Chain A
C-alpha cells in the first residue's frame, strides 16, 4: 500500500517532449524548430562572447564568495535590469517609484507577480479576479496564474488565423468587455508564439482602453533586444505605458538576450504610484520569496550586473544581441524568399512581418504531424517554429518540406 498509489502519470510538457523526440530521431536531416533557444548558423548553442569574458572576471575575483543574496536579490542587478526595461532616464526611476525583485528567470518573475496580485490586488486573496492571456500565448502563462490561485483565466483575442496577423478589433473588444480590474498579460515584444506585435498606434489604443477601464498591466518581456536588435525599440510599449501613468509589473527574462538560459536570471520590475506604495509592495514580495526560494541564485545576476554596469561590456553585449537578432532576420528573409520561389500555395509575408524568435507558420496540426513524421522537422502542434533552428545549411530542406506539406496535406 503506497501513499502515492493513486498519483497519476502526468502528460509531459509538450515543448520538452518535442526536444526528446528530436533527440531520438535517427534521420540525419532532422531539424529542431521547437524549443525557444538561440542557435548559431552551425545549429549550435551560443555562449555570448561577453558572457565568457565576464565569467572569467568572476572566476578570477577572489574577493567574491557564495554567500546568500538578499531576499529580493542582488541590488546592482535589480536596478540595472529595471533600467534596461524602462530606460536610463525613466522619470519613474528618478521619482523613486520603481523597484524590482530578482527572480528565477522570466517564469519566476511571472510567478512572483502572480502570487502578489492574488494576495494583494483587487482585495485580499481575491482569486476571482479575471486574468487574461492572449490567444494564443506561451503555454506556461496559464499554469503560472492558476497555480497562484487565480480561478478565472481567460483568453483575449489576439491572433487572427485567417489574415495571419493581429486581431486588433477583437483585442480591443475584449479589453472593453473585461470586468474592471481584470489583469492582462501583455507581451512586451516578439509575441510568443505568433511573433506578431501591435504597432505603436495599436499599443496606444490598447493603453487608452486599459487606463479607462482600470485594467492591470502585466508585461512579459522575454525578448528585449532580441526582437529588433535594439533594446530601446523593443521596450517601446513598456515605456509608453509608464508615461501613461500606469502602476504595473514587467516580468523580465535574461535567458534569451544574454543566452543565460540555465542560470535562471529574471527580474520583476514594479512601477508604483510613489515610493511609499513601492516600499510596502516590496516588503510583501519578500514574504512571498521567502516561502518559495528564500533568496535567488547569485551567478547569473552577478554576470548580468557586471555587464550592464561596465560601459565597454554593455556595448559589447548590445552588439552580441544585435548579431543574434540579425541572424534571425536573415533567416526570415531567406525562408520567405524560398517559399515564394517555390510558389508554395498561400501567402508567406507573415514570415518577415513577424518578429523575434518565433513564427506562427499557419501550418495546421495535420501538417505539423506530417512535417515531424515524414520530414523529421520538429515544430509545435500550433505551427510555431523557432527561427533560430534554421541555418543556411538546412533552410532549403525546410522550405521544400513546408512546400511539400502544404501541397500534400490539408
Chain B
C-alpha cells in the first residue's frame, strides 16, 4: 500500500521548473495539453526531407509519382479545369449533400451504369471530404443509427486511420485475420475462420481493391465465399474503395467485389475517394453511399446524413467535385481519364516487375513473387523492422516500419539502387 502511494507521489513530483515559469504555465488553459505523438507516416517524409544523400528514396508517400518522381496532374483534370473556368460559374453554397452532377456520377462509377440500385433510386450518395470524410460520416451514421452493434471489424492490418476514425465516432474496433506474413499473401482460411465467429449485425470493413497497406486482394472466387459467409453471419458491409481504377487499371474490374456483394443482396455502405484515381488529393473529393431497401428509406437516410454533415462543415467544397463531375460526365474526358488511370496503374505494375527482376539480378534467392502478386500503390515487402532500419540508415530508403513501401515512389531511375539495398539487408 505504502509503495503504491509513494509511486503516485513520484509521478506527480516530476521535474520542478523555476517558480516564475511554473506560474506562467499555470496561468494557461493549456498547461495540461500533452504533445500529440508524431504521425508515423509524416515522420518518414520529414526524415526523408532532412537526408542529404542524393540517392535517397521516399517510399512512404501515399501519392502517385511519375517516372521522374514528380507529382502528376492528370491531363483530363487540366482540361476539365479549363472548361470549368470558361463557364464562369458562381460560388454559391452547394447543398449539404454536395454537387448533384458529382454524386450521381460517383454512384454510377462504383455501381455500374445500369445498376438496379441506382435505377430504383434506393441508394443515397453524398459528396464527402475525400475518403477520410466519407469514412467519418459513415462512422457517425452507424454510431447513431446502427444501435444493435457497436463493433467494427477491420482486416488485420488495415489503413492506420480507420481505427481512430471509428473510435472517435464511438464505435469499438475488432479485427479479423487477413494478411499472412508467411506468404506475404491473403490468409483466406484465417479470414473465413474469424469472420464465421463475428457476432451478427456487426460491421465488417472490406477494402474493395488494392488493400492498404498490404496490396493483397482476395481473388474473385474467394470474394464469393466471403460474400456468402458474411450473408450467413448477417453482417453490415462497409466497403472502403479508395483505389478504383488504380489497382488493376480497369475501373470495372476494381469495383467487381462491390458490385458482386450488392448483386448478392447485401445492402452495403460504401466510401469512395478520388484522391488517387483522379490525382485530386488536396481538393478532397469523395462520396459516401448507403444502399437502402427502397427509395423511401433512401430519403430518410439522406435526411439524417444531412443532419450529421451540417454541424461538421455545413456543405462540401465545390472545386474538386466540379472537376470530377466534368470528367465523369464528358465522354472524351472520361475516355481520357480511363487511359490515364490505366497508365498510372501500369507504371506501378511495371515497377513491381522491375523491382523483382533487379532483385534477382542482385543475386537474391528469396521469394519475391508477392511483390508482383500484390496490387495497387502499396507493397508489403515482408521486411522486418530491423531490416527497414538498416535500409533507411545505410541506403537512405524511407519507408514505414511495417515493411510497407509505396510503389509510386519507385522509378526506373531508382529501382536498381532500391533492389541493391533490399538485397543487402535481406541476404
Q: Which of these binds chain A: B127-135, B376-384, B402-410, B418-426?
A: B127-135
* Chain A, interface residues (CB within 8 Å), range: 35 or more
CB pair A281 B315 closer than 8 Å: no
Interface membership of B91, Cβ < 8 A:
yes
Chain A residue nearest in CB terms to B323 = A66
Chain A residue nearest in CB terms to B292 = A4
User: Using Cβ atoms and an 8 Å threshold, which residues of chain A touch B12?
Assistant: none
Quick one: which of B29, B93, B280, B319 contacts A261, CB cutoff 8 A? B93
Contact A12-B303, Cβ < 8 Å, known A273-B28, A300-B317: yes
Q: Which of A290-345 contact B (CB under 8 A)?
A: 290-300
Chain B residue nearest in CB terms to A248 = B29
B 19-39 binary contact with A (CB < 8 Å = 1; else 0)? 000001101111111111001
Quick one: which of B133, B267, B299, B319 contacts A292, CB cutoff 8 A? B133
Contact A4-B300, Cβ < 8 Å, known A247-B30, A264-B316: yes
Q: Which of these binds chain A: B100-108, B160-168, B212-220, B246-254?
A: B160-168
Complex alpha-carbon distance, A318 and B300, angstroms: 44
User: Using Cβ atoms and an 8 Å threshold, which residues of chain B touch A201?
Assistant: none
Quick one: which of A3, A9, A295 contacts B299, CB cutoff 8 A? A9
Contact A68-B300, Cβ < 8 Å, known A5-B293, A280-B33: no
* Chain B, interface residues (CB within 8 Å), range: 35 or more
Quick one: which of B93, B282, B320 contacts A69, CB cutoff 8 A? B282
B 225-262 binary contact with A (CB < 8 Å = 1; else 0)? 00000000000100000000000000000000000000
Chain A residue nearest in CB terms to B290 = A4
Complex alpha-carbon distance, A87 and B35, angstroms: 29
Q: Which of A145-202 contact B (CB under 8 A)?
A: 146-147
User: Using Cβ atoms and an 8 Å threshold, which residues of chain B touch A2?
Assistant: 267, 292-293, 297
Q: Which of B103-149 contact A (CB under 8 A)?
A: 129-133, 136, 145-146, 148
Interface membership of A260, Cβ < 8 A:
yes
User: Using Cβ atoms and an 8 Å threshold, which residues of chain A touch B96?
Assistant: 13, 16
A 273-293 binary contact with B (CB < 8 Å = 1; else 0)? 110110111011011001111
Chain B residue nearest in CB terms to A1 = B293
Quick one: which of A4, A261, A291 contacts B297, CB cutoff 8 A? A4
Contact A264-B24, Cβ < 8 Å, known A45-B91, A66-B279: no
B 63-92 binary contact with A (CB < 8 Å = 1; else 0)? 100000001010001000110010010111
Contact A13-B310, Cβ < 8 Å, known A273-B24, A277-B28: yes
CB distance from B14 to the nearest CB of A (A): 16
CB pair A9 B303 closer than 8 Å: yes
B 24-56 binary contact with A (CB < 8 Å = 1; else 0)? 110111111111100100100000000000000
Interface membership of A111, Cβ < 8 A:
yes
Contact A146-B311, Cβ < 8 Å, known A247-B29, A283-B35, A291-B164: yes
Interface membership of A262, Cβ < 8 A:
yes
Interface membership of A381, Cβ < 8 A:
no
Complex alpha-carbon distance, A261 and B310, angstroms: 14
Interface membership of A10, Cβ < 8 A:
yes
Quick one: which of A262, A273, A297 contacts B129, CB cutoff 8 A? A297
Chain B residue nearest in CB terms to A59 = B85
Chain A residue nearest in CB terms to B280 = A66
Interface membership of A241, Cβ < 8 A:
no
CB distance from A58 to the nearest CB of B (A): 9
Contact A291-B165, Cβ < 8 Å, known A7-B145, A9-B299, A144-B311: yes
Chain B residue nearest in CB terms to A283 = B36
Complex alpha-carbon distance, A7 and B91, angstroms: 33
CB distance from A388 to the nearest CB of B (A): 12
Interface membership of A47, Cβ < 8 A:
yes
CB pair B24 A274 closer than 8 Å: yes
Chain A residue nearest in CB terms to B296 = A9
Interface membership of A89, Cβ < 8 A:
no
Interface membership of A67, Cβ < 8 A:
yes
Interface membership of B333, Cβ < 8 A:
no
User: Using Cβ atoms and an 8 Å threshold, which residues of chain B touch A56?
Assistant: 85
Interface membership of A135, Cβ < 8 A:
no
CB distance from B426 to the nearest CB of A (A): 32
CB distance from A255 to the nearest CB of B (A): 8
Q: Which of B308-334 contact A (CB under 8 A)?
A: 310-320
CB distance from B89 to the nearest CB of A (A): 8
Contact A3-B33, Cβ < 8 Å, known A45-B92, A293-B136, A300-B319: no
Chain B residue nearest in CB terms to A253 = B314
User: Using Cβ atoms and an 8 Å threshold, which residues of chain B touch A279?
Assistant: 35
User: Using Cβ atoms and an 8 Å threshold, which residues of chain A touch B95?
Assistant: 16
Chain A residue nearest in CB terms to B293 = A2
CB pair B300 A262 closer than 8 Å: no
Given contacts A47-B90, A56-B85, A290-B164, list 14 more A-B pairs with CB under 8 A: A4-B300, A10-B300, A13-B310, A45-B91, A59-B81, A59-B82, A67-B281, A104-B316, A120-B33, A140-B311, A287-B36, A293-B130, A293-B132, A294-B130
Which 7 residue pairs are nearest across A and B when measured between Cβ atoms?
Answer: A104-B313, A283-B36, A298-B282, A294-B132, A143-B311, A273-B28, A262-B318
16 A/B residue pairs, CB under 8 Å, sorted by A: A7-B300, A9-B299, A46-B90, A59-B81, A65-B73, A107-B311, A108-B313, A143-B311, A264-B313, A273-B25, A273-B30, A277-B33, A280-B34, A284-B36, A291-B132, A294-B132
